[in-house]
Structure 1
Amino acid sequence: MTVKAIEVMGSGVRVETGSGTITAKACILAVPSRIMELRRIAIRPGLPAAVQQAFAEVTMGYGEKVALGFDRKVFEGFEIPFADVFDPVAPDTRPLNFELHPFGRPIAVAHVGGSVARELAQAGPDALKGFAIDTLVKAFGADIRQRIVASATTGWTMDEHIGGAYSGAAPGKAEARKVFSEPVHDRLFLAGEHVHRHYMATVHGAYETGLDAAHKAAAVSGVPVGPNDPLWLPT
């Protein structure tokens, strides 16, 4: 069910979706910031200028992950649980970060970021996997290629409901996130990792903003608010 528009009225909100219209006393808008940046969801009577400016200053970056599974632990002699692979002699070489044997499992997880992530994601999963495997081979030798028995990639960049990875504020614009915590037309509340001023780009940051938005939405709807969730993380 894709949301197309949210209209804030004096006594509540009306949410237009591909499957019909929903009315409520308040609405929590928890979507990736790219969706708002591209105005994929129409907000009526429109986002305040300060919120629009904040979305222009806190944009979403690009990032993907590639998981490689091996038939056994292949990094036993490598005591550091991560590896940054780059070639200082060839500065044009694209660097890549790996988690090695996370949680003791025979796995390596590559973290691809920025324009490289966007380019490879647009080329498809095979391009992401190939880049990760080729880079790992450069660091640990060709034999490691034969040990790979499984692989998987994320697809955040090309997902029309995401369009990227994590939010990032422009230099000197970190305080723009403050605006995201304020109610929009009194009944619309934003949530997500991009909203948090301290724990942006994290699950727990998104979780906290969701709790905060839920408490605010409940209050404006006249719903009694219970005690904080035991997992509440203080800011």
Structure 2
Amino acid sequence: MNAVSTYVSGAELDRVSSRDFLRYDDSGVNWRVVEGYGTVIATHGRDLPVVLGSPVQLIDHSGRRLRVETAHGSIAADAAIVTVPSALIAEESIVFRPLLPKKTQAALGLPLGLADKLFLSLSHAEEFDEEIRLFGRTDRSETGVYHFRAFGRSHIEAYFGGRLASELEARDDVGFVDFAVGELVALLGSNFARRVKPLKLKRWGADPFSRGSYSYALPGKADCRAELAAPVDNRLFFAGEACSRSDYSTAHGAYLSGVAAAEAVIASQKTRR
């Protein structure tokens, strides 16, 4: 059960709020995208003016208009939607002036779990059925799950969560590969090591713009999601999966919270006029 919790929440059961967990609304519809979510986002927003490589450092909401300081200069705005992961708000990577201690505390109650993926190429893949999964071990929680031939492709998607992922991130990339190959060899025999090669690894905890994978609520902190999502002075709005009461940890939860925030911004502008 603990292993499954690390895949679902990115953390072991003792760290996860049962109330928050029970609020999750699983629609049973979770689509994977062959081209990747990056392609979905780029396509969906292709007509929008977007500036990349310009991280926000400070949002000053003390004046009549907001002043947003970025790595490439200042922007004045009537309103803004903050969509950064909860870990960055907790770390105060973006400085709010005046400070927003309630937001910081809410974000601290919603840490990001860790769920890392390693992709391995697989030779003679046709010997395995498509879309099958193997657990590395069933007698301990520190184990990986291995998804064979996703979309019929000749590769294995290895998935590591919770403390195991954190421990592996403390090593180099070879540590992930050695762990995965060790578990697969134990399941499928020593010759299997020659059939796999590393393709791609994503270490979410090391990503400076994420600091983790997706949020979970600490025990007693389930209501932090509402606090994090609440607007400030009808000018600063917040969105992202951590702001979703029942669809957290998902792309659709992040998207729907963003739509709600955008609609709230539009409504606030009409009121001002």
Match of 2:10 in 1: none
Match of 1:135 in 2: 183
Q: Secondary structure at the match of 2:264?
A: helix
Any stretches of 5+ residues in structure 1 without a counterpart? Answer: 224-235
CA shift at 1:24, angstroms? 0.9
* TM-score w.r.t. length of structure 2: 0.73
Match of 2:105 in 1: 53
1:70 aligns with 2:122: yes
CA shift at 1:176, angstroms? 1.9
In the alignment, the residues of structure 1 paired with residue 127 and residue 232 of structure 2 have an alpha-carbon distance, to the nearest angstrom, of: 51
Match of 1:7 in 2: 60
In the alignment, the residues of structure 2 paired with residue 131 and residue 162 of structure 1 have an alpha-carbon distance, to the nearest angstrom, of: 24
Q: Secondary structure at the match of 2:223?
A: helix
Q: Deviations over 1:148-186 (max 9, x none)?
A: 244210021111111111111012322221112210232
Identity %: 32
In the alignment, the residues of structure 2 paired with residue 75 and residue 184 of structure 1 have an alpha-carbon distance, to the nearest angstrom, of: 57
Q: Deviations over 1:44-90 (max 9, x none)?
A: 111153x33321211112221111121231652x68721222163xx
1:201 aligns with 2:254: no
Given candidates 84, 87, 95, the residue that maps to 1:34 is: 87
Match of 2:228 in 1: 180
In the alignment, the residues of structure 1 paired with residue 66 and residue 195 of structure 2 have an alpha-carbon distance, to the nearest angstrom, of: 55
Which residue type is aligned with residue 25 of structure 1?
D
In the alignment, the residues of structure 1 paired with residue 122 and residue 227 of structure 2 have an alpha-carbon distance, to the nearest angstrom, of: 46
In the alignment, the residues of structure 1 paired with residue 79 and residue 127 of structure 2 have an alpha-carbon distance, to the nearest angstrom, of: 52
Aligned pairs, how many? Answer: 218
* TM-score w.r.t. length of structure 1: 0.84
Report the structure, 1 or 2, having the larger strand content: 1
What RMSD over aligned residues (CA atoms) do the two structures have, in Å? Answer: 2.1
1:82 aligns with 2:82: no
In the alignment, the residues of structure 2 paired with residue 153 and residue 56 of structure 1 have an alpha-carbon distance, to the nearest angstrom, of: 27
In the alignment, the residues of structure 1 paired with residue 138 and residue 221 of structure 2 have an alpha-carbon distance, to the nearest angstrom, of: 33
Q: Secondary structure at the match of 1:59?
A: coil
CA shift at 1:191, angstroms? 1.2
Which residue type is aligned with residue 232 of structure 2?
V
Moved over 6 A (4+): none
Q: Secondary structure at the match of 1:108?
A: strand
In the alignment, the residues of structure 2 paired with residue 47 and residue 210 of structure 1 have an alpha-carbon distance, to the nearest angstrom, of: 20
In the alignment, the residues of structure 2 paired with residue 100 and residue 46 of structure 1 have an alpha-carbon distance, to the nearest angstrom, of: 48
In the alignment, the residues of structure 2 paired with residue 17 and residue 153 of structure 1 have an alpha-carbon distance, to the nearest angstrom, of: 30
CA shift at 1:124, angstroms? 2.4
Contact 1:74 1:144 in 2 (8 A): no
CA shift at 1:209, angstroms? 0.9
Q: Deviations over 1:2-31 (max 9, x none)?
A: 211011145331111111101111111111
1:126 aligns with 2:178: no
1:107 aligns with 2:107: no
In the alignment, the residues of structure 2 paired with residue 222 and residue 124 of structure 1 have an alpha-carbon distance, to the nearest angstrom, of: 52
1:44 aligns with 2:124: no
